[in-house]
Structure 1
Amino acid sequence: MKEFSKYILDEFGRLIVAKGFMRKRRGLFFRRLNDEMTAALSLQTRSYGGSYVDITPYYQVYWEPVEQIFCLGTGRQYRYLDQPTLSQIRIVVSENGLGASLFWKEVAEPAKLEGLVEKFCSDFERETAALADPAKILEFFCSELKYGGGRLEQYLSVLVWKKRSLSLDNELVEVDKELKTRPNVIAFPGFLQKLRESSELTSLLKRAYD
């Protein structure tokens, strides 16, 4: 990351933290939604030929128990705020459609920074609330099953958490039907088997009832 990009992100960070957000790392700011979910604002930069930097906001939701289950089944190490459950990009445009989120060369215009921070933060609650609806999360992954890329495992992780159980017989029938239309999608028995053998999953589901 170029120095000016770092500087811009740090300036955004200073203003966003002042709005009551916590900072996980450069460009990632978050608030707790509830006992299970964290909402975040991720700012991504793109540098164009060294002439200017563009800032793009992503609104994100991390459904922590679901991500923990996903990691247990895939053998990955779970890290807080490492992989969002859902993420939504929002392109920033000005009235004329140009330059709303561009910062030229070494000039960080304070008024422009403050205006963007105000917009990002004012949109935050609405954008993340829409992403955090459990039914919509399940619907999203169900609709994306045919594309593979971990969506199947995410879908199963949501089901396990919602049911607090690995008893998914009825749901697996529907999944099997979907997979038959996409034979190139990796099958999931190994994922469920890892979950069945996981003492950590047993503890996680037990805590949900305590």
Structure 2
Amino acid sequence: MKEHTKAVLEACTGHLVAQGMTRQRRNLAVWQMNDEMWGGISMQVQVKGRRVRVLPSAQVLWEPVEVLVAHGKGEGFRPWTRFSITRSRQVTPPPAIGPLDFYEPELDGSVLERFAILARQVIVGEVLDLADERALLQHFRKNANKGVGRAEHALAIRAWQKKSLDLEDDYGSLMIEQREDEQRDRLERFHLRLRQSVAAREMLRYSGGQGVG
């Protein structure tokens, strides 16, 4: 990555920090929305010649759900990797703000200000929209037979909502929706590991449930 591109990302992240967020890395700033959820604004770049275009995304990390997903996969939980972000949505700047283009070697202050306005007036609202628990469950249930991990996320959400690993009804309905043998095998392995996870059971018991129903 060119030094100018790094400088652009650092400057944008600096504006997010000035709005009260915490720098997670060069292209990501986050904030804790409640006891369970974190919001984040991440930035990818599109480089063409001297132009660096910033492409921001709204992100939500539902931490206890992602921890349960990690237990079901038999993995450790690492926040803010691409595998632990619950939902992400790229945000296109409205016409009034326009594209966020920086031309080497300048860090155009007016573009940075437009980015700050976009974050404050648009992206934060997108994050809050993504963070709706009912909408998150509906998203993963609706797309349970599409892509890797959707059904597993739906099952983890139900475990957290029920504070229990007694998930036979949810597991059965999700299994019916899996169209490929590979999908069914993956969900079966996930369900088994989650039920057998001592850490998941203790986590749910500590949060007020009975762990296994």
TM above 0.5: yes
How big is each residue's C-alpha offset from its partner over 1:37-67, in whole Å with a ceiling of 9 and x where there is no partner?
Answer: 000100111211x321110110011000000
Aligned residues: 206
CA distance in 2, matches of 1:208, 1:54: 43
CA distance in 1, matches of 2:175, 2:79: 32
Aligned equivalent of 1:85: 86
The runs of 4+ residues in structure 1 deviating greater than 4 Å are none
Preserved CA contact (<8 Å) 1:53 1:103: yes
**Residue-by-residue CA offset, 1:133-178 (whole Å, 9 max, x unaligned):** 1111010001111113111111111111111112122222321321
Deviation at 1:32, TM superposition (A): 0.6
Q: What is the aligned partner in structure 2 of residue 27 from structure 1?
A: 27
Q: Which residue of 2 aligns with 1:58?
A: 57
Would the aligned equivalents of 1:22 and 1:31 in 2 still touch at CA under 8 Å?
A: yes
**Equivalent of residue 183 in structure 2, options 154, 161, 185:** 185
- Mapping for residues 189-208 of structure 1, pairs under 5 Å: 189-208=188-207
CA distance in structure 1 between the aligned counterparts of 2:205 and 2:182, rounded to whole angstroms: 36
Q: Give the C-alpha shift of residue 183 in structure 1.
A: 4.2
1:124, 1:91 → 2: CA distance? 9
Q: Note the C-alpha offset of 1:184.
A: 4.8
- C-alpha contact (below 8 Å) 1:39/1:60 kept by paired residues: yes
Q: Does the CA-based 8 Å contact 1:161-1:205 persist in structure 2?
A: yes
Secondary structure in 2 matching 1:81: coil
What is the aligned-residue RMSD (CA, Å)?
1.8
Any stretches of 5+ residues in structure 2 without a counterpart? none
Moved more, 80-89 or 54-63: 80-89
Q: 1:100 to 1:127 in 2, by over 3 A?
A: same
TM-superposition CA deviations, 1:164-203 (whole Å, max 9, x none): 1121222223213212x44452422211211122111112
Kindly report which structure 2 residues correspond to 1:28-47, keeping only aligned pairs within 5 A, or say none.
28-47=28-47
Q: TM-score, normalised by structure 1?
A: 0.91
Q: TM-score, normalised by structure 2?
A: 0.90
Classify the secondary structure of the residue corresponding to 2:207: helix
Q: Which runs of 5+ in 1 are unaligned?
A: none
Partners of 1:190 and 1:173 in 2: how far apart?
13
- Identity fraction in percent: 29
User: CA distance change for structure 1 residues 112 and 57 in 2, over 3 Å: closer, same or farther?
Assistant: same
2:126 alignment partner in structure 1: 127
Distance 1:148 1:94 in 2: 33
1: CA distance, partners of 2:148 / 2:9: 30
Q: Helix, strand or coil: the match of 1:88?
A: strand
Partner of 2:14: 14
